[in-house]
Structure 1
Amino acid sequence: MSEVLVITPVKNSIETTLDTAKAIAASDVKVHHIIFNDFSTEETKAELEKNKGEIGYELVHLEDITDHPSPNYKLVLQVSQKKALDMSLPLLVIESDVVVKKDTISKLLAHQDSHQSSGLTGSVTVDEAGVVNFPYLKFKGRKEAEINTKRSLSFCCTLFSQSFLNAYDFTGLDDAKDWYDTFISSQALESGFENYVLMDAPVWHRPHGSRPWKQLKYKNPLKYYFLKYWKGLDKI
């Protein structure tokens, strides 16, 4: 029986996505993994279909259930919350630019089991050399195994407890936003839960590998902020 529902929203970036899926499949706990294809190219769609049986994930093409243009993170969260509650499982978001270790998921589950007040539990992100990187640079240099934090968690690799899923209904998420990491982190705290970042369960993160245009933030910040504000992309 699966111990957790794992979801991965995908928009192209097929190489990193397959790395993510293979790492999840190699975990030391049984998971139910769903990849949500958010209007990727036909080439990406074909590769996802080709590999689903061999790697072992369920594949949902959002084009089959909505005509709303990408990104559709709100819909993914809503569908996943319902599925997790129906399955009586916690929900783990692992994004398509993240590679977990064999014991990452079991560490997240064990921590949440031993902290009944937890709402969100995230893994710290690191680069290929194991150095803390974006979006958790704010915790770089911290030596604790775990951090109980009031600061926003990223959904790079974050576990939602069943208690929180029962307490907060994702159908109320704001249509005007694209991403909900900051908002849901705050909602968990406001609902009386505690949020944690595990420093002893790091995951390899290739920042914005799932959304390459955001690399402009570092390479061409003027163009990035033009797209962000003038074009209305990346609303948080």
Structure 2
Amino acid sequence: MIVITPVKNSLETTKKTIQHISQAEGNFDYFIFNDFSNEETTTFLEENSKKLNYQHLNLAEIVTTPSPNYITVLRMAQKMALAKNTHLLLIESDVLIEKKTISELAKLAESLENPGMIGSVTVDTNGAINFPYKHIKKSDGDLFVTKRSLSFCCTLLTNKFLEAYDFETLNPEKDWFDVSITKMSRQLGFQNYLSNALPVVHLPHSSRPWKNEKYSNPLKYYFKKYFLGRDKI
């Protein structure tokens, strides 16, 4: 499996994310996409790649477009996964997985009926379901098919889905692609699953703190969204 984490600063949560992944069970190659982080974060990522067993890809050496470069990350990661005939797992830089998360998601990818995407529900440090899955209840079951969008907090994209949908066709005018990719998975006839039994801790918007303004200062957030072109989904 290919596991990726896009990183934009937020060094403290990034360190925790990497540490949890470095201790995880399973057979996977881990890549960190550094999306024009500051010098402190970039230095850490460069100096700790061997120790924590990941490959550091510095987008500043690959593209000139300003952050966010999620479309570039997704396109590169898709090519990596297809080249190895394997699945792709996205884990955000403010997510803390369990030791078994990667290996169990890999098992589900092989055992479920026609899976396109498999997501882990997100919880806070007390175990309560949090953003972006606040609409989910534990009573919904340990594992179920969902027609709602799957966040990329911790979500596996199966190899068959990657073969069926070319990310080169993604809309370059957008910043984020979880909604459109989730929708395309269903349109291509795949099932999207969400697991309550494999929760991961999510520290919402730690990597892009200005997104918290959506809740703390919505007028400011929506001004930036519509007049400055931020957060296009």
TM-score by length of 1: 0.96
User: How far apart in 2 are the matches of 1:143 and 1:214?
Assistant: 28
SS of the counterpart of 1:68? coil
> Which residue of 1 is the match for residue 134 of structure 2?
137
> Which residue of 2 is the match for residue 14 of structure 1?
11
SS of the counterpart of 2:48? helix
2:151 paired residue among 147, 150, 154: 154
User: How far apart in 2 are the matches of 1:142 and 1:90?
Assistant: 29
The one-letter code of the counterpart of 1:14 is L
More displaced stretch, 178-187 vs 14-23: 14-23
1:173 paired residue among 165, 170, 173: 170
> Which residue of 2 is the match for residue 81 of structure 1?
78
> Which residue of 1 is the match for residue 102 of structure 2?
105
Is this contact kept in 1: 2:5–2:93, CA < 8 A? Answer: yes
> Which residue of 1 is the match for residue 27 of structure 2?
30
> Which residue of 2 is the match for residue 235 of structure 1?
232
User: How far apart in 2 are the matches of 1:228 and 1:140?
Assistant: 30
SS of the counterpart of 2:50? helix
The one-letter code of the counterpart of 2:9 is N
SS of the counterpart of 1:44? helix
Is this contact kept in 1: 2:27–2:103, CA < 8 A? Answer: no
SS of the counterpart of 1:56? coil
The one-letter code of the counterpart of 2:219 is L
> Which residue of 1 is the match for residue 50 of structure 2?
53
**Is residue 68 of structure 1 aligned with residue 65 of structure 2?**
yes
Listed one character per residue, the Cα deviations across residues 43-100 of structure 1 (whole Å, up to 9, x for unaligned) are: 1111111221211110000011110111000010000000111111100000001000
Is this contact kept in 1: 2:23–2:99, CA < 8 A? Answer: yes
The one-letter code of the counterpart of 1:121 is I
User: How far apart in 1 are the matches of 2:110 and 2:7?
Assistant: 29
**Contiguous gaps of at least 5 residues in structure 1:** none
Is this contact kept in 1: 2:138–2:196, CA < 8 A? Answer: no
The one-letter code of the counterpart of 2:10 is S
User: How far apart in 2 are the matches of 1:107 and 1:57?
Assistant: 20
SS of the counterpart of 1:34? strand
CA shift for structure 1 position 116? 4.1
User: How far apart in 1 are the matches of 2:178 and 2:2?
Assistant: 18
Listed one character per residue, the Cα deviations across residues 185-204 of structure 1 (whole Å, up to 9, x for unaligned) are: 00000001000000000000
User: Over the residues paired in the alignment, what is the CA RMSD in angstroms?
Assistant: 0.9
> Which residue of 2 is the match for residue 183 of structure 1?
180
SS of the counterpart of 1:137? coil
User: How far apart in 2 are the matches of 1:24 and 1:55?
Assistant: 9
The one-letter code of the counterpart of 2:179 is T
Listed one character per residue, the Cα deviations across residues 122-152 of structure 1 (whole Å, up to 9, x for unaligned) are: 0000000000000001113434011201110
The one-letter code of the counterpart of 1:144 is G
User: How far apart in 2 are the matches of 1:46 and 1:181?
Assistant: 29
User: How far apart in 2 are the matches of 1:30 and 1:134?
Assistant: 29
User: How far apart in 2 are the matches of 1:221 and 1:142?
Assistant: 31
- Aligned residue pair count: 233
Counterparts in 2 of 1:191 and 1:143: CA distance versus 1, 3 Å: closer
Deviating runs (4+, > 6 A) in structure 1?
A: none
Percent of aligned pairs with the same amino acid: 50
More displaced stretch, 140-149 vs 41-50: 140-149
